[in-house]
Structure 1
Amino acid sequence: MSGLESLDSDICAALSHCLKSILLAFASIKIKLCSSSLKNKWLCGCEIKQALFCFPCLIFGGETAWTKIGVTDLQHLNAKIDKHENSFKHIHNATNLNLLGKVDIRQHIDIGYKISIQRHNELVDKNRYVLDKILNCIKCCGKHELPLRGHDEKVSSKNQGIFRGILDLCINLNSSLNDHFEKSTVFKGTSKTIQNDLLDSILSVCRNKIVNEIQQSEFIYIIVDETTDISNIFQLVLILRYEVQGRPVERFWSFANPNGHNAEALSQTIFGLIDPLLEKSPNKLIAQSYDGAAVMSGQKSGVNRVSVLDEVVGVRLPRAVQTRWNFNIRTVNTVFEHREDLIICMDKIIETSLQAKTINQATGIKRLLEDSDFIFWLTIFHKIMPHVDCLYSSVQARKTDPVQVNNAVKSFINEIIKIRDNMSSICSTVFNQSDINYIIHSNKRKTNEDPNTTKRIIALEVCDVLITQAKDRFSFNEHLTTALLFQNEYYPKFNDKFPIDYFQKTINCYPFFTKERLRTELEVIYSRDDFRLLKGIIPTINYIISNNMNDLFKEVLKLLKLLVVIPMTSSEAERGFSTLIRIKTCLRSTMGEERLNALSILSIESEMIAEDIDFNKKVIDNFSSTKNRRMDFIHKITP
């Protein structure tokens, strides 16, 4: 007797024994089948209760009237029988009764078919192993921002590209891979089509993860910015910021190419990107920020004759980088501090160079360094830029909070006011320098005004513009006030006197909070010593979540998550930990390749990918389900 037949006999014996036990149990309580004259064979009766029951439902469970109470209304018996007989539960139970003790047909499956499924799954395991290694090579190239394909990937090529080089190394170190690539004729995974399909699957899996995170978060903030790659192709980039397990995260979503540079074209492009994300929950969008085009390095960003410059000045000028010009502080300071050394450097270049173009350029730079207008504005901005640097550092700090930003803005405005008040003294110092060349510009209209007085007036206007812009760009301050509610050093003070002004501004800014509940929760926090030890918003969130107090402080937790997600200011497109910085770094070494979104997400979101231990499995599943592949990557399940 075979193993399968033996198993069937055991099952039959067990079920038969079970059936006999059930029937004996029913016999002991004097239940007997009704007369055969009744056409409903499932009916049975109880002499004790003097009622009718459904035998299949008694065994497997069903309506209470037919299993526990019993039917005694003989006048409406036929109607009750018809209704019960046509019910889903009765038919299902009757079917189970008829099959009770019989061998399931699925147990009769052909042994050969089982063996074929087993062999298929073993082959799938090998195929998925190979694809997993190919995927790791692609991820390695993307993570380190290396070009995926070479210019010539033919077998005869001496340089087939970095991806092929990494893959060849893996093949040489892995006998299973080596065996596959030597014998396989249908799938090697090195073609451009397969690479593109894998990149599409990677992008799909990453976006699915981001969408799932957004669905679990309460608020979302979008960042939109312009940037360009090294080929100077204009790109619009969308970044999503939200909260995951008490910490803020920024995720790269997509590049886009607007049809134009006007407000309408940009708006249509942005809406096309975010509408699918917020279609089901548009109220999650709590903040947004936009920024203009980045100032790219020009043709003269490189410094010629660096050796001469190093010899004379002893330092190297900071290289122009892809960032906002108003934060190019080091360049201003270096030129101011080494202006005389730079003039000597230009003189040496003029004396030693044999090229007329180089001499002309050096002469022009020397003339500019000695120009009165240039020296005046260089001095003014040398005074201003250190304060810009302090403001920039405060806004860009990784552990900044709205309170620090607000204080930094106030400090910046006060310092600019001091410079403005001291402008007469600064101008006098510059005008009295002996090495200034006062160049007469022929294209300027002749006036009786003193040029020095005009410069001083313009410098005062520059200070006024900086003060006005600082106030305007950081104008949305209600959420900065909200953060004052969570300064732990003031909790004892708030416990004695509740900060009603801060609280009311918060409610005015975010009216969707339950006012009474939020105040009560804040009062509890201010009164407890354990909360007074928590410094910062994120530690407070983690403390509430880790101790399962989400429901107790639900309004406070919602407010804390909101503060984590929203930007510190209205111009926060380039915070220090921002994904935008990583995107621009990536684009500096990335040409306009196909699948740019996928290649960029491999580099920018490499940490998110590394945290997902099943990432490769998800990509392979997506890859195998999108098209009919020539190799099998999907397991079969044995019935």
Structure 2
Amino acid sequence: MSFFLTILSAGRLAYDVWQSTLVQSATSSKPHDLAATALAWGAGMRIRVSPFIFPRTVHGEKRRAFSKTWYSQHKWLEYSQSRDSVYCFACRYFSIPNASETPFTSHEGYSNWKKAMYKDGGFKGHEKSEGHTNAMYAWSEHQKNILTDSSVLEENRIYIKTVAEVVLLTAMQNLSQRGHLETDTSQNKGNFLELMELLSKHNPLIAKKMKAAGNAKYTSNTIQNEVIECLSEMVREDIIREVKESEYFSVIADETKDLKKTEQLSLVLRYYYNGAVQESFLEFQRASQLDAAGLTQNIIQCLERYGLEYRSNLVGQGYDGASVMAGKCRGVAARIKTEAKHAFYVHCNAHCLNLVIVDAVKSVPEAHCFFSLLQKLYVYMSGSYVHQKWITVQKDMYPEAPRELQRLSDTRWACRYSACKTVMDRLPAILRVLHEIDLENSGDRSVEARGLLAQIDLTFIGNLSTFRKILGEIKLLSDVLQSPSLDLAKAVDLIHALQDTLDQYRSESCFDELWQDAMDIAEQCTVASETVKRRVQRESLRLKGYFVDSPIGQHRCKEDDKDKFKREVFYPILDHVHAEMEKRFNKTNCDIMRGIQALNPKSKSFLSEEIVVSLAGLYDCDIEDLKHELYQARKVVQRRAGCGNELSSILGFTTFLESYKEVFHQLFRLCRIALALPVSSATCERSFSVLKLIKNHLRTTMTDERLSNIGVLSIERKRARSLSLDDFVTRFATRHCNRRIYLF
């Protein structure tokens, strides 16, 4: 008995080895139908025969058989059908090593049914033996250990899940995990430890684990990095799985500087999956070389690292118009196209639209001066004294909440619509603030106010009305172009619609309406409806009847403010916007763009054989099969339209074809390619906003790998929220074998 207790106290590892040795010996020496017990013994299970007619054998003068009622009287009992004998489960697996053999542990077993129920022999006699008593005690202790081990294991897994949830929460919310000082006496240990301590106040299990040894808490910065790495790997694996299932994809890339002045390359994949267009962020990557060769290498190495077949399945590239990216001969787009021949380059349409406004404004001096004045007004009204007066005046004049003037963005000109709208809506309040400060005679502040007042005239109000109208239309398109689900066909339609709208504005009726609005605002703000006329130099009477070929002074001009504004501002800005759009969106005429339009149910060329076949030739499709599919597809679409189920977009058409993809294999392939082509790089731009939140002024020492991993969890938060924490614990536990706590 004392020897057995010594074995029990030897520790888990020795105990497991000792028991496994017993299992092997029992399995090799006992009947085959009881050998299965070796697989189940760890749970304290024993073999019991299901309903069975036990054979009768001659014992004395009678034929006797095993009785199934004996099972309930002796829980250690096992019956072997092959031997027609019984065995002691406890003694077989839990007896002291080298213990003497009994009939209940021998190879033949016990089968004397006549004496089985004797008081001093048989089953009861075996139960009274010291060896059986010790074995039963060991069996009971083993069952308790199993229950304890499973309970501890479950507690460990729950605790690690909690650690992962806290890390995931901080990552998705762009919060720092660590504190400056994380000792027990620190007043601020960082978001991660503070949240863990908060949970421990409401969860006894977490509280118990948090009081464990330092290397068993699993709260160190190393563990945090491992958790972040595991979670980000799971998110990326989900993205790569979708990309591989969708087959065709495009890469979208853009770079920016972080606060440490390190160039970070943002990589996004666009593809069609499960009835929707996806743009999934993959990673941030340090761009150590900013030339075309270095950036190309970064992109290709990333695709190879994730096992993506880019040579045949990469169908599009989306970048801005920088020469290093878009160069026709040695740019990134050209270099990647030599590796992936189907990778069609798309200049970010949102960037193109922004450049349209930039170049148009630069070409019209009056417009350029107008936006400079708007910026000066914003700067002046942002001063502390003026701003306080600005808020007070608004509260006095308007029932709504005070509004702030908008700073003019140099990179997002469409957003200047908000600046124009705010100034126009609050112009009376602006003039009142400037007038009050002018009357204060407070030095430079009053002088600046007087200068701004002099600049806010009828022409300024006309510019406000003009650009609020034009930029309002452009902003609508700009916002739509930044949608991840937008396809190129719809983008082309919207661009053409904007061009038609701006062309309609170039009419007398439209200008008259706009000018009347400007006059109404001028009257409301008590701004003079006519500018001060300059002295007009008269023509010399002595030159009457002569022709001159050089200026002799300004001629008398009867042109009023309205005609002058129309001639110098309104028409020129519309003409330059139209010309810039024609120049920058001329790629819509190429074969690929025409082919994509032919897959749009709203296009006049929908399913045109000539155009679709031309597109198919660029992507190595089976032309003969495609022609048959086009004929059948037209019939099916017409029949569907006749039932009132008309298709309205490439996405809808692709989703419809997905149900018949075995029939329309080539056509479905072209539709997936069309949807995978990028429209803009806005998703990369949005990732830069997250980058600034993650790598802020307090976290500039963050490594590039950690930045990329946290970026994935933050940007792809929908995927991160749906991760299986059970899968995470398994992955986390298998990364290292020297875990301080057991997880499986």
TM-score surpassing 0.5? yes
1:316-353, CA deviations, whole angstroms, 9 ceiling, x for partnerless residues? 14544989422111112332454453232223345569
Task: Quote the residue 1:556 is aligned against.
Answer: 667
1:261 is displaced (CA, Å) by 5.3
| Cα contact 2:200–2:206 (8 A) shared by 1 | yes
Pair 1:628–1:278, CA change in 2 (3 A): closer
Q: Secondary structure at the match of 1:237?
A: strand
Task: Quote the residue 1:596 is aligned against.
Answer: 707
For 1:145 and 1:206, how far apart are their aligned partners in 2? 17
For 2:155 and 2:206, how far apart are their aligned partners in 1? 9
For 1:526 and 1:223, how far apart are their aligned partners in 2? 33
For 2:728 and 2:553, how far apart are their aligned partners in 1? 75
| Cα contact 1:251–1:579 (8 A) shared by 2 | no
Q: 1:330 aligns with which of 392, 406, 418?
A: 418
| Cα contact 2:289–2:295 (8 A) shared by 1 | yes
1:389 equivalent to 2:479? Answer no
| Cα contact 2:280–2:716 (8 A) shared by 1 | yes
Q: 1:202 aligns with which of 204, 210, 231?
A: 231
For 1:198 and 1:506, how far apart are their aligned partners in 2? 46
1:292 is displaced (CA, Å) by 7.0
Task: Quote the residue 1:347 is aligned against.
Answer: 435
Q: 2:625 aligns with which of 517, 523, 529?
A: 517
Q: Map of 1:30-109 to 2, 5 A cutoff?
A: none
For 1:279 and 1:562, how far apart are their aligned partners in 2? 16
Q: Secondary structure at the match of 1:138?
A: helix
Q: Which amino acid aligns with 1:482?
A: G
Pair 1:360–1:582, CA change in 2 (3 A): farther
Task: Quote the residue 1:50 is aligned against.
Answer: none
Q: 1:434 aligns with which of 519, 530, 533?
A: 530
| Cα contact 1:289–1:573 (8 A) shared by 2 | yes
Task: Quote the residue 2:650 is aligned against.
Answer: 537
1:130 equivalent to 2:152? Answer no
Q: Secondary structure at the match of 1:183?
A: coil
- Worse overlay, 345-354 or 136-145: 345-354
| Cα contact 1:420–1:460 (8 A) shared by 2 | yes
Alignment root-mean-square deviation, CA? 4.8
For 1:259 and 1:447, how far apart are their aligned partners in 2? 63
Q: Secondary structure at the match of 1:251?
A: strand
Pair 1:466–1:209, CA change in 2 (3 A): same
For 1:447 and 1:286, how far apart are their aligned partners in 2? 64
Q: Secondary structure at the match of 1:164?
A: helix
Q: 2:608 aligns with which of 484, 492, 499?
A: 499
1:577-613, CA deviations, whole angstroms, 9 ceiling, x for partnerless residues? x47436525634651444211222221111112233x
1:243-302, CA deviations, whole angstroms, 9 ceiling, x for partnerless residues? 22232211111223434655555445444434534664422111111137999x999699
Taking structure 1 as the reference length, what is the TM-score of the superposition?
A: 0.66
Unaligned 5+ runs, structure 1: 15-100, 102-108, 439-445
What is the aligned residue count? 517
1:526 equivalent to 2:625? Answer no
Pair 1:247–1:633, CA change in 2 (3 A): farther
| Cα contact 2:181–2:188 (8 A) shared by 1 | yes
1:238 is displaced (CA, Å) by 1.4
Q: Map of 1:80-479 to 2, 5 A cutoff?
A: 123-227=152-256, 235-259=264-288, 263=292, 266-277=295-306, 280-291=309-320, 303-304=382-383, 306-313=387-394, 314=398, 316-317=403-404, 319-320=406-407, 324-328=411-415, 329-349=417-437, 362=449, 365-366=452-453, 369=456, 378=464, 380-396=466-482, 400-419=486-505, 433-434=529-530, 456=567, 462-477=573-588, 478-479=591-592
Pair 1:598–1:13, CA change in 2 (3 A): closer
1:554 is displaced (CA, Å) by 1.3
| Cα contact 2:265–2:284 (8 A) shared by 1 | yes
The alignment-based identity, stated in percent, is: 18
Pair 1:276–1:148, CA change in 2 (3 A): same
Q: Which amino acid aligns with 1:163?
A: F
For 1:227 and 1:324, how far apart are their aligned partners in 2? 13
| Cα contact 1:223–1:239 (8 A) shared by 2 | yes
Pair 1:458–1:130, CA change in 2 (3 A): same
Q: Secondary structure at the match of 2:281?
A: strand
1:236 is displaced (CA, Å) by 2.9
Q: Secondary structure at the match of 2:211?
A: helix
Taking structure 2 as the reference length, what is the TM-score of the superposition?
A: 0.58
Task: Quote the residue 1:51 is aligned against.
Answer: none
1:485 is displaced (CA, Å) by 4.1
| Cα contact 2:601–2:650 (8 A) shared by 1 | no
Task: Quote the residue 2:117 is aligned against.
Answer: none
Q: Which amino acid aligns with 1:331?
A: A
Q: Which has the greater radius of gyration?
A: 2
Q: Secondary structure at the match of 2:389?
A: helix
Q: 1:482 aligns with which of 592, 595, 611?
A: 595
Pair 1:357–1:625, CA change in 2 (3 A): farther
1:139 is displaced (CA, Å) by 0.9
For 1:363 and 1:135, how far apart are their aligned partners in 2? 61
Q: 1:606 aligns with which of 717, 720, 723?
A: 717
| Cα contact 1:586–1:603 (8 A) shared by 2 | no
- Worse overlay, 554-563 or 269-278: 269-278
